[in-house]
A and B are shown apart, each in its own frame.
Chain A
């Protein structure tokens, strides 16, 4: 459910950015990104249908289960797009949102590879798209930032705000996932636990606690933000830690 909500935000943002792009090559890239995001929305939505969500209940189900902090994360980004701020919009979309999605999908792919290979394969294709999107963000925006250094404080504030809501979303989702992760591990044990142990960014996903996995995920995403923002001349701002 959170994947659909996140991808819907990415679709709305990337399509909105097409009109704001100052040159045709950027418009063309963002048009292909719009298509990618639509495909992601479609495949994750289909996953919901496969899991039993009725088509007529799709919107109400998303409204009901989309994490409120993820919704706020999306609102911060979409406000920039609605205000016509191309540079902030691309940083929010192609570095913050895509950077988060890229790492979350990597984690999900690692945990699904053996237990749910169909879903893992879906995620692999999505990860390849996200890598291209992040690359565009870094390449195109670096030069625009150097032309408009006055934009930096506002963009840094947006990054900090989005990062806060991202961490709050992680906290909500992981705190509610304890039972399902335990169930997954039991299932893995029944299927042959020795072959299912997966190392991800230094954590053994088979034995790590929920808090440890959440911590590794948060550190990995924030580390990516710091590196990528640094490459385009933006100073990473540490978010406050959600209560």
Chain B
């Protein structure tokens, strides 16, 4: 099987490529939760791209408004990626088995890389102190989502943490980044393509893990559905914030929100 990330490294995912959530469980465990799979997946789109893009790629001329819009957007991506990094690192210790532990460790490295490339890009766009700018421009909804996610990790709740991180947050990022990659300047677009390839793996892990768990423990469905209801406001609010940053027209927004609804529907958690 071709690793998902490798196949999608050009940002032109084909219909024939198998999505992780479509793999049968045995294949999924064998393929996706190993260091070698991760390495094979990422080397295709990281090699020669120290900050997520080809250094030979020329910088486009961006007007002031466009540049500020990208900075605001990337700052909020950084909040999401910092949340993902801190949650994933905490979840390594919560992982219930060897394969999940290894996968979460690879996710920690992915999230750290995402944060690094976004911060670097913000600096490239003329911001002197990217970390301070992230603090200044962060939307309340994504900050609140981060706080709730880290509470779940601190409580040692593996299933809820997987749901909040690998389904809800990853779906949000996957959806928004994928859209943004189509409209952004060439450098930002290439950075986003590499990140989206990672998010697809993370999302696949979340759906497989929870899908398997819910088959074995159907009583947990009600608890996770309730949690989804609680987090919906924050997730959808974060979507709105991202749409505003991207200057997305209102009639385009439901199209993007559908990915989120499809992900939770696959788990039977629409509520």
Binding site for B on A (CB under 8 A): 11-12, 15-16, 18-19, 24, 27-28, 30-32, 34-35, 37-39, 41-42, 45, 58-59
Contact = CB atoms under 8 A, between A and B. Distances in A.
**Interface range on chain B: under 10, 10 to 19, 20 to 34, or 35 or more?**
20 to 34
A18 B86 contact: yes
Contact of A31 (B93, B101, B112): B112
B115 interface: yes
Interface of B: 34-35, 85-86, 89-90, 92-93, 97-98, 101-102, 104-106, 108-109, 111-113, 115-116, 119, 131
Chain A facing B: main interface SS: helix
B38 to A, nearest CB: 8
Contacts of B98: 41, 45, 58-59
A12 B109 CA distance: 14
28 contacts: A11-B92, A12-B93, A15-B90, A15-B93, A15-B104, A16-B90, A16-B92, A18-B112, A19-B89, A24-B115, A28-B115, A28-B116, A30-B89, A31-B89, A31-B108, A31-B109, A31-B113, A32-B109, A32-B112, A34-B92, A35-B35, A37-B105, A38-B92, A38-B106, A39-B35, A41-B102, A42-B102, A59-B98
Given A27-B85, A34-B89, A18 B115 contact: no
Contact of A38 (B85, B90, B102, B112): B102
A185 B241 CA distance: 68
B110 to A, nearest CB: 9
Nearest to B38: A35
A39 to B, nearest CB: 5
B34 A42 contact: yes
A34 B116 contact: no
Nearest to B92: A15
A45 B113 CA distance: 26
A113 B232 CA distance: 57
A38 B89 contact: no
B105 A11 contact: yes
B92 A12 contact: yes
B120 to A, nearest CB: 11
A213 to B, nearest CB: 31
A11 B100 CA distance: 13
